[in-house]
Structure 1
Amino acid sequence: MRRIAFLLAVVALCGAGSVAQSADKNKRLLLVTHSGGFIHGSVGTAEEVLKAIGPASGFDVTCWRFTGDPDAQDKSGKTALQVYSDRFRGATKLPVEKENCGRINKETLKNFDVVLFFTTGNPLTKAELTDLREWVKAGGALCGTHCATDTQYTDTVYGDLIGGYFKGHPSGLQKIKVKVEDPKHPAAAGFTNGMDYQDEMYIFKDAPYSRERLHIIFSVSDWTNTKLPGNLVRKDGDYAIAWCREEEKGKVFYTSFGHDPKVWKDEKFQSHLFGGLRWATGQAKGDATPSGAKK
């Protein structure tokens, strides 16, 4: 029922012709949920939702849960895949088998149009990060949800590419009011200015986040009843939620929503996410001009 409702909503927003694409025209989407740090329990829901509604929305979906060397062994003789699978199953109740693994490099990236990160820790080696950046520059699409900014701190190349790094979040879930800064952008679908929304809300480090480099789509206009701890209060009062940018011929889209499994099942979020994915892969037009100083 949720799937039908979502598809009807997208048809109304985009037109049936742009949604009901034939399989040979679908973009190839790779969802990466490798979690070297905190493992979000919602990654299984993310896989479920994307696989369920992706094809009718213009995307054939592949999911990789582990992007390291599965056969590397620790001192106890356990493989990296065994160790990781135990952790992953503990958080998600899902196994990680060889078929759930893949390496991101210039050869494998040829098989995809868009890579969607829902990751923590370091899913990429330095060489793989270089391959990813060059792939984006050549016209690939990099997208991220929630903890994609809590990823790859070891190399600022990634932070520059995705647009920011996670600094922290208040405890629990926060109810906020969403400021829709670009209502015409495809990723603004499903939301109206001032709408209430609830999820775990990220605050970003001062750098590399910058409105001089990013086109802000959503930001927080009101924290409602949440009092931010002092270390998370930004001096500029700028609390972005979603943005996009261009990297030479490629495109980057990020949304900090996606912590709560309920968010992934929400039609508003689905419209927002798929709007961003469609923009990033050239299926929908939208502005990417940097927003500049906060107005």
Structure 2
Amino acid sequence: MNTKLLLFLLFVLFLFPACAKKNTAPAETELATEKQTQTKKVLVFTKTLGWRHKSIETGVATIKDFGKTHNFVVEHTEDSTHFSTAFLPQYDAIVFLSTTGNVLDDDAQKKFEKYIQGGGSYLGIHAAADTEYDWPWYGKLVGGYFESHPNDPNIRKATIIKTTNKHRSTSHFETSFSRDDEWYNYKEINPEITALLNLDETSYEGGTNGKKHPIAWYHLYDGGKAFYTGGGHTKESYNEVGFRKHLEEAMLWCLE
């Protein structure tokens, strides 16, 4: 073999691996980018202009735990400017965790409506129903507004009845069970909701909704989906196995 041919073969051997590496790099980058885009993202909103629940921080930590377990990103804010076209489209679900009062201005409200109309998901927890009384669209989204709750004490044990409507968030519960929480009475309940859990008003004092007293429900609304649970007033709620599982499965339903 002459010297020129040998040099040519050596050049080819060194050139081809280098080209192969260059050709596979973009593919690897595309796969990494695709994997990143598959990660779900949740915004937990906790702005309050009324009563401030001491359990909010515990609730945020709980949802972050769910994110670690199920591989979705959780961001927490009390900044209503996140309700804009620059932020909202990146989230797969928006959680209103014990928000109170009129927390969004007119522009933010319109942006949030468009988010839901575009197929977005909403999860309301406890005082999310004590929010935005002057915004009828929101009232229908959450499924009902807070009207009152028992006092002295406001935390009391009640029996909860599981409805026959099947849902992943309530499948672990017995047909009836008891727990302690602050039990809301509701007004302007959206007739389109699907009740999952009802309070048995004969088991405690202070209920005003009668035989049909929903305390957790879901529905499809204006192009999107919404879930609400009335539990979660206390810090202890988020350490209860049953309630924690209920909230976790509700969050996963919103991300389906």
- TM-score under structure 2 normalisation? 0.80
Task: Tell me by how many angstroms 1:221 deviates.
Answer: 2.4
Which residue is 1:217 aligned to? Answer: 196
Q: Select the residue among 185, 192, 206 that pairs with 1:203.
A: 185
Which residue is 1:6 aligned to? Answer: none
| Contact 2:165/2:195, CA 8 A, preserved across alignment | no
Alignment deviations for residues 142-175 of structure 1 (CA, whole Å, 9 cap, x no partner):
1100000000112111101111100010022121
Q: Distance in 1 between matches of 2:165 and 2:180?
A: 20
Task: Tell me by how many angstroms 1:117 deviates.
Answer: 0.1
Alignment deviations for residues 28-77 of structure 1 (CA, whole Å, 9 cap, x no partner):
1111110110000001101221222322124311001342xxxxxxxxxx
Task: Tell me by how many angstroms 1:223 deviates.
Answer: 4.5
User: Any gaps of 5 or more consecutive residues in structure 1?
Assistant: 1-21, 68-101, 283-295
**After the TM superposition, which of the residue ranges 113-122 and 24-33 deviates more from structure 2?**
24-33
Q: Distance in 2 between matches of 1:183 and 1:262?
A: 27
Q: Distance in 2 between matches of 1:182 and 1:141?
A: 24
| Contact 1:194/1:221, CA 8 A, preserved across alignment | no
Alignment pair present for 1:191 and 2:170: no
Q: Select the residue among 115, 124, 130 that pairs with 2:104.
A: 124
Which residue is 2:224 aligned to? Answer: 250
Alignment pair present for 1:43 and 2:21: no
Alignment deviations for residues 255-277 of structure 1 (CA, whole Å, 9 cap, x no partner):
00010100012221121112112
Query: Highest Rg: 1 or 2?
Result: 2
Q: Distance in 2 between matches of 1:55 and 1:133?
A: 29
Q: Distance in 1 between matches of 2:169 and 2:114?
A: 25
Q: Select the residue among 105, 115, 118 that pairs with 1:138.
A: 118
Q: Select the residue among 197, 202, 208 that pairs with 1:233.
A: 208
Residues 113, 193 of structure 1: CA spacing in aligned structure 2 closer, same or farther, 3 A cutoff? same
Q: Distance in 2 between matches of 1:148 and 1:223?
A: 26
Q: Distance in 2 between matches of 1:23 and 1:180?
A: 38
Q: Figure out how many residues of one structure are paired with residues of the other and give that number.
A: 219
Task: Tell me by how many angstroms 1:240 deviates.
Answer: 0.8
Share of identical aligned residues, percent?
26
Which residue is 2:136 aligned to? Answer: 156
| Contact 2:165/2:194, CA 8 A, preserved across alignment | no
Residues 166, 139 of structure 1: CA spacing in aligned structure 2 closer, same or farther, 3 A cutoff? same
Q: Distance in 1 between matches of 2:66 and 2:255?
A: 17
Q: Distance in 1 between matches of 2:165 and 2:176?
A: 12
Which residue is 1:74 aligned to? Answer: none
Alignment pair present for 1:267 and 2:241: yes
**Equivalent residue of 1:198, what SS?**
strand
Alignment pair present for 1:178 and 2:160: yes
Which residue identity lines up with residue 175 of structure 1 in the other structure? K
Q: Distance in 2 between matches of 1:177 and 1:55?
A: 32
Q: Which has the higher strand share?
A: 2
Which residue is 1:96 aligned to? Answer: none
Task: Tell me by how many angstroms 1:24 deviates.
Answer: 5.7
Matched ranges for 1:106-125 at <5 A: 106-118=85-97, 119-125=99-105
Q: Distance in 2 between matches of 1:54 and 1:223?
A: 38
Q: Which has the higher helix share?
A: 2
**Equivalent residue of 2:180, what SS?**
strand
